[in-house]
């Protein structure tokens, strides 16, 4: 019997408090806050706890993943 308490913080990180050590989720629950990303994950943004928001590359916008984002054209 596992009791879960779910809350959201300001940036939309989903917090789960339970007896199991589960990482916080981030990036609209598509990533996990970790000290090190797993092999098939990529670091995208920082979580509020200072850890990396690790997501599968398929969830990262293609222009950012490939490093082709032109900030001047977005303004």
For 2-41, write each residue's pLDDT tens digit: 444 444 444 445 554 444 567 899 989 999 999 999 999 9
Q: In which band, very low, low, confident or very high, does the pLDDT at 61 lie, cut at 50, 70 and 90?
A: confident
Number of domains making up the chain: 1
pTM beyond 0.85: the answer is no
- For residues 72 and 44, give the distance between their C-alpha atoms in angstroms, rounded to a whole number: 20
Other Cβ atoms less than 10 A from the Cβ of 22: the count is: 12
- In terms of residue numbers, what domain contains 35? 5-74
If we measure between CA atoms, which residue out of 32, 37, 24, 27 comes closest to residue 59?
27
């Amino acid at each position: 019997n596992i009791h879960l308490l779910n809350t959201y913080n300001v940036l939309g990180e989903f917090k789960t408090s339970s007896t199991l050590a589960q990482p916080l989720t981030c990036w609209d629950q598509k990533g996990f806050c970790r000290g090190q990303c797993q092999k098939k994950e990529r670091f995208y943004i920082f979580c509020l706890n200072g850890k990396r928001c690790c997501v599968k590359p398929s969830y990262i916008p293609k222009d950012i993943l490939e490093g082709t984002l032109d900030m001047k054209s977005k303004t």
